[in-house]
Amino acid sequence: MILKASNISKHYLIGRQQLEVLRGCSLQVRQGEFLAIMGASGSGKSTLLHIMGLLDKPDSGQLHFDGQDLFALPGRRQDSLRNREIGFVFQFYHLLPELTLAENIMLPGMVGSSIFNWPRNKRKIREKTQELLKAINLEDRAGQWPNTLSGGERQRTAIARALIMNPRILLADEPTGNLDSEAGMAILDLLLKLNRNGQTIVMVTHDQAIADLAHRRLRLKDGRLEKID
């Protein structure tokens, strides 16, 4: 078991109303598994994924990674673990427009290195970036700016960025939601290939056909997780 979430709850205040988004959600993720979490738009899928990726905090509940209680760790330790062990793929890519493709992919490696360690780590990160660019068939576009790419190419770049630190788990938030069907299928094929090679993946989606590609499926409804037969 690589990741375990227990009784995760989260609410937001909208004016004077309290919106309960997550109500005691619990799940477990096994090493090498491809887990899909389904739910309608606004059901809280992204909120749950952000909490699992230490991008947000719950009101209550626990999150364990390899037996560690993540919310009990100091902030700097959480930042380091998120940088090295968790890869995140967003629906809208979130590539920095002022950086080239290669620089966007290298960014987590730069962030994860101190000013003293970067000269030592730079060569290894650059070599890994070239490997990833080749794997996503964008080796000849390394020096291009993100705004010169198609949506599918940007998402492939975002996936490469998420993989640069060899994370134990990859969290994908509607990774095909902003793409046409052909580009979306290419992204799914890439994720499936990664999973066959051992990458643990948790993906949220509202699309049944996409969820059916996963090993296991859960549905988030009315703030609660339920198993899909």
DSSP string covering 38-102: E--TTSSHHHHHHHHTTSS--SEEEEEETTEEGGGS-HHHHHHHHHHHEEEE-TT----TTS-HH
Question: What is the predicted pLDDT for the residue at 178?
Answer: 86
| Number of domains the chain contains | 1
Per-residue pLDDT 10s for the chain (229 aa) are 999 999 999 999 888 888 899 999 999 999 999 999 999 888 899 999 999 999 999 999 999 999 899 999 999 999 999 999 999 999 889 999 999 999 999 999 888 776 667 777 788 899 999 999 999 999 999 999 999 999 999 999 999 999 999 999 999 999 998 888 899 999 999 999 999 999 999 999 999 999 999 999 999 999 999 988 6
pLDDT tens digits, 62-105: 999 998 999 999 999 999 999 999 999 998 899 999 999 999 99
User: 229: exposed, middle or buried (C-beta count within 10 Å: 0-12, 13-18, 19+)?
Assistant: exposed
CATH number of the domain residue 37 falls in:
3.40.50.300
Helices 181-196 and 151-163: crossing angle in degrees, nearest 10, is: 20
* Nearby residues of 224 by Cβ (< 8 Å), 6 or more positions away: 23, 24, 25
The whole domain housing 188 covers 3-227
